[in-house]
Amino acid sequence: MNYIARPHYTEKIKPFIGKQIIKVLTGQRRVGKSYIMLQLMDFIKEENPDANIIYINRELDQFSHIQTNNDLSEYLLDKFSPDNANYLFIDEIQEIDSFQLTIRSLFAENKCDIFCTGSNAAMLSGELATSLSGRYVEINIHSLSFAEFLTFHQLLKGSDSLMKYLTYGGMPYLTNIGLHNDLPFEYLKNVYSTILLKDVVSRENIRNISFLENLVLYLADNIGDLFSANNISKFLKSQRIAISPQLTMNYLKALSNAYFVHKVVRSEIGGLKIFEIGEKYYFEDLGLRNAIKGFNQKTELHKLLENAVYLHLLQRGYRIFVGKIDHKEIDFVADRNGLKVYVQVCLQLTEKTTSSREFGNLLMINDNYPKYVITLNDMIIGDDYQGIKQMNLIDFLLLEL
């Protein structure tokens, strides 16, 4: 099959092939988990032509009869080879009720090497975590990074390409549609509807769909703003809807479980305190956000810049917080295995702002971890300002970190 390789993910998974551990690929629907599976299957076939590969995709009609773990067990009865290495791939496994019972049994009997994908985080916190704790490794798959976007669409690094990325986002299938006019948004609107229906409404038993859609619009309009009980109440009043803030938070959790948005909590820099009040939400894919809300470049560019920086940190495997130091805020504090990165995002940087909020807040942090101010404009004061790196968004999104 023809596909564009995504080595950032496949190289992470390959060391686990053949190991007695379940490989779980998680992420929002349509970010390319299935194609990464296919790449792994091809790699296994190249390494071992005699390998017996069993593939189940719950989104295909031929597998629609596999509704429960009993159906799955029955289907697999005669699929394993006694003479060859067996590999089981199951796409969108959360669509199979009580799937964990069959997976646990297969794992215990060491019948096959197991790979599966899922589009709902509740699958891990519930089914998998309960039955298979310590026996699986999770690999998060995301929409295309900016570097992958350039490769997929055969674009050169530059401001035009960046604007396409900020406008249309990184859903891989857009390579089949092109980045012209409204065609991408028609596709993205359909993806949004599918995510909302299958991974949020049905999975989480959401009843007030109209309010859920309004909540998504609110999030799209308030990227990077602190979300608290106070502004939830204001939002509810503006909608003239009698829904408790707690139910609103439940709906937000449902959207997060579908990997559609990501919640970022606040953390005290230099301490261990996590603040329970006030968090921010960012979208998994910029194009989906724009398909829902529209994109006004004059008034909303700064929001997408911040979301793009968040996504880059997320795609590089960092745990991300909003930083708080005294009464100041750091846009992102990112941690990966003890390595920290601090980032401030600013649409345009002027001489006046170099020593104020963007640089001043970072200068308050008394450690030697990398610190960045990310902007859209070209360098003004050089690459380094008292140890703080100023970078254009294009360069930052291509930085390995």
Residue 335 and residue 264 in contact, taking contact as beta carbons nearer than 8 Å: no
In a domain, 61, yes or no: yes
Number of independent structural domains in the chain: 2
Q: Which of 143, 260, 142, 250 is nearest to 192 (CA)?
A: 260
Judge if 165 and 296 occupy the same domain: yes
Q: What is the pLDDT of residue 113?
A: 98
Residue matched to tokens 């640089």? 359
DSSP per-residue string spanning 230-241: HHHHHHHHHHT-
In a domain, 1, yes or no: no
Judge if 133 and 164 occupy the same domain: no
Residue 221 and residue 293 in contact, taking contact as beta carbons nearer than 8 Å: yes
Q: What is the pLDDT of residue 369?
A: 95
Residue matched to tokens 């050089």? 382
Q: Which of 262, 205, 13 is nearest to 117 (CA)?
A: 13
Specify the long-range contacts of residues 387-390, CB closer than 8 Å, at least 24 apart: 388/359, 388/362, 388/363, 390/349
Q: What is the pLDDT of residue 122?
A: 80
Taking the C-alpha atoms of residue 112 and residue 85, their distance in angstroms, rounded to an integer, is 7
Asked if the model's pLDDT at residue 383 lies above 80, the reply is no
384-385 β-sheet, strand order: 274-283, 261-268, 319-325, 328-336, 339-345, 371-375, 388-392, 384-385
Judge if 168 and 91 occupy the same domain: no
In a domain, 218, yes or no: yes
pTM for this structure? 0.95
Residue 141 and residue 25 in contact, taking contact as beta carbons nearer than 8 Å: yes
pLDDT band of residue 356 (cuts 50, 70, 90) is low
Q: Which of 77, 78, 121, 70 is nearest to 96 (CA)?
A: 70
In a domain, 35, yes or no: yes
DSSP per-residue string spanning 286-303: HHHHHHHH---HHHHHHH
Looking at 140, 157, 174, the residue that finishes a domain is 140
* pLDDT tens, position by position, 140-180: 999 999 999 999 999 999 999 999 999 999 999 999 999 98
CA distances from residue 185 to 168, 178, 182, 291 in whole angstroms, order as listed: 8, 11, 5, 5
> Which residues, including other chains, have CB under 8 Å from residue 114's CB and lie 6 or more apart?
22, 23, 88, 90, 103, 106, 107
Judge if 101 and 192 occupy the same domain: no
> Per-residue pLDDT averaged across 231-240, rounded?
77
Q: What is the pLDDT of residue 235?
A: 78
Q: What is the CATH number of the domain that holds 120?
A: 3.40.50.300
In a domain, 250, yes or no: yes
Mean predicted lDDT score pLDDT of the chain: 91
* pLDDT tens, position by position, 7-66: 999 999 999 999 999 999 999 999 999 999 999 999 999 999 999 999 999 989 999 999
Judge if 194 and 124 occupy the same domain: no
Judge if 121 and 254 occupy the same domain: no
Asked if the model's pLDDT at residue 381 lies above 80, the reply is no
Q: Which of 161, 189, 241 is nearest to 30 (CA)?
A: 189
Helix (H, G, I), strand (E, B) or coil at 154: coil
Judge if 134 and 158 occupy the same domain: no
Judge if 150 and 14 occupy the same domain: no
In a domain, 56, yes or no: yes
Judge if 353 and 304 occupy the same domain: yes
Sign of the torsion angle spanned by Cα atoms 197, 200, 203, 208 = negative
Residue 310 and residue 297 in contact, taking contact as beta carbons nearer than 8 Å: no
Specify the long-range contacts of residues 312-320, CB closer than 8 Å, at least 24 apart: 312/145, 312/146, 312/396, 312/397, 312/399, 312/401, 313/341, 313/343, 313/401, 314/142, 314/262, 315/8, 315/142, 315/145, 316/400, 316/401, 318/401, 320/264
* pLDDT tens, position by position, 69-114: 999 999 999 999 999 999 999 999 999 999 999 999 999 999 999 9
Sign of the torsion angle spanned by Cα atoms 176, 182, 185, 189 = negative
Looking at 109, 140, 171, the residue that finishes a domain is 140
pLDDT band of residue 274 (cuts 50, 70, 90) is low
User: 351: exposed, middle or buried (C-beta count within 10 Å: 0-12, 13-18, 19+)?
Assistant: exposed
Judge if 302 and 262 occupy the same domain: yes
Supply the range of the domain harboring residue 67. 7-140
In a domain, 264, yes or no: yes
Where does 146-208 have alpha helices with state H?
146-152, 159-168, 183-194, 203-204
Q: What is the dihedral of CA 290, 205, 24, 287, to 10 degrees?
A: 0
Judge if 134 and 237 occupy the same domain: no
Q: What is the pLDDT of residue 228?
A: 79
Compute how many other C-beta atoms are within 10 angstroms of the C-beta atom of residue 257: 21
In a domain, 2, yes or no: no
Judge if 158 and 205 occupy the same domain: yes
Looking at 120, 140, 160, the residue that finishes a domain is 140
Q: What is the pLDDT of residue 378?
A: 66
